Amino acid sequence: MVRSRLLSKVGSGVVALAAASFLAPLAFAQAPESNDPIKIALFDWTSVNLNAKIYGGILEKLGYTVEYPTADYLSSLTTGLTTGDLTIGMEFWATTAGEAMAASDATKETENLGPLGPKAKEEWWFPEYMKAKCPGLPNWEALKAPACAEAFSTAETAPKGRYLGGPVTWEGFDDERVVSLGLPFTVIHAGTDAAMFAELDSAYQREAPIMLWVYSPHWAPAKYKGEWVEFPEYTKECYTDPKWGSNPDAKYDCGKPHGDIFKYSWAGMKEKWPVAYKIAKAYTIETEVLNKMSGEIDLDGKAPEDVAAEWIAANEATWKAWAE
């Protein structure tokens, strides 16, 4: 970074600070390069929208026009971002968007801007108190026992267990996984991310049965004591070759993949808004910080814009360095 190089080369701290102050405005002299709006996609979970508001807030500080259209998570990779109707999306999880990212890459109309920072994990999750009712957990094979399935059942699914999946736009292949592994469970999809975790909170307080999709980074694995189900380890072949795994006639007989979270942009962003593009490429955030801020929104009721503004104010040196 320019500032760090100056500090290492100039002996006087006073001179170094003066030089840094003089050069700082020059880094942003060409921004905004266009008054057309930079369209940052919003999806249906908290952390991605928080990252969108932080990034957008930084751009607004630099004079850019920013819009926040709500988009479909997976199809945005192969529609909105390819056409430029969307400029950037801040979170695409390799755990669920791997196929869509590959399809997007093939168009040559989008650009993978690199990892956000946190590592993604998404899987079936249960509260610790359910282990007494389903001996053998977290091994997935415990779920095949009728008594265990019934322990996770509700009035709408009994005697089958109930698995609360994410919104259908997240995909995740849970319906296919239940069939492939012969699990006596019914998959129910939550309407929204907020509804899913509100149901977890209600069940947890009552020690009621619940099995659901929990992901990290997120505040839930820190707030609630529980474990992820241990399915057969994911491999690419599990999702593409029916002969792989315990069921020779079906795909998805394994757990979900783990991996990075990536930022994606419309390919034309680099040329049209080079400073904004540079900031997006450099933008990273720590898992613990993201979890804490997401909790402030979901648990403490803060507005995403307010949490984003606090981060921007506290980290001005960081985001200014991203453009240098």
pLDDT at 32: 92
Lowest mean pLDDT among 23-27, 73-77, 195-199, 262-266: 23-27
Question: How large a percentage of the chain has pLDDT more than 90?
Answer: 83
Same domain as 231, residue 169: yes
Strands (E), the chain: 38-39, 66-67, 88-93, 110-127, 161-165, 185-189, 212-216, 226-228, 259-266
Residue 12 placed within a domain: no
Residue 15 placed within a domain: no
> Would you place residue 28 in the very low, low, confident or very high pLDDT band (cuts 50, 70, 90)?
low
Domain boundary among 205, 240, 275: 240
Domain count, the chain: 2
- Measured between alpha carbons, how far is 158 from 184 in angstroms, rounded to an integer? 10
This prediction has a pTM of 0.78
Lowest mean pLDDT among 26-40, 105-119, 256-270, 310-324: 26-40
Same domain as 236, residue 131: yes
List pLDDT tens digits, range 93-104. 988 898 899 999
pLDDT at 282: 98
**Does the structure show a pLDDT above 60 at 223?**
yes
pLDDT at 171: 84
Question: How large a percentage of the chain has pLDDT more than 70?
Answer: 91
**Does the structure show a pLDDT above 90 at 5?**
no
Rounded to an integer, the average pLDDT of 273-282 is 97
Q: Look at 37 and 169; give whichever has higher pLDDT.
A: 37
Rounded to an integer, the average pLDDT of 293-310 is 95
pLDDT at 20: 39
130, 137 contact by CB (below 8 A): yes
Rounded to an integer, the average pLDDT of 297-308 is 95
**Does the structure show a pLDDT above 80 at 150?**
yes
**Does the structure show a pLDDT above 50 at 162?**
yes
> Would you place residue 29 in the very low, low, confident or very high pLDDT band (cuts 50, 70, 90)?
low
45, 34 contact by CB (below 8 A): no
CA 261 vs CA 62, 96, 167, 315, 318: distances in Å: 26, 10, 19, 22, 20
308: left (phi over 0), alpha (psi -120 to 50) or beta: alpha
Same domain as 144, residue 115: no
Residue 254 placed within a domain: no
Buried b (16+ CB within 10 A) or exposed e, 246-279: ebeebbbbbbbbbbebbbbbbeebbeebebbbbb
pLDDT at 324: 84
Same domain as 305, residue 224: no
CATH number, domain of 148, equals 3.40.190.100
Same domain as 115, residue 125: no
Residue 62 placed within a domain: yes
3-state secondary structure (DSSP) of residue 152: coil
pLDDT at 82: 97
Same domain as 226, residue 194: yes
Same domain as 135, residue 110: no
pLDDT at 174: 96
- Measured between alpha carbons, how far is 292 from 301 in angstroms, rounded to an integer? 13
Domain housing 166: 121-240
> Would you place residue 222 in the very low, low, confident or very high pLDDT band (cuts 50, 70, 90)?
confident
Same domain as 60, residue 113: yes
Same domain as 127, residue 210: yes
Same domain as 236, residue 283: no
Rounded to an integer, the average pLDDT of 53-73 is 97
Lowest mean pLDDT among 5-9, 49-53, 164-168, 274-278: 5-9
pLDDT at 110: 98
Same domain as 266, residue 225: no
Same domain as 98, residue 200: no
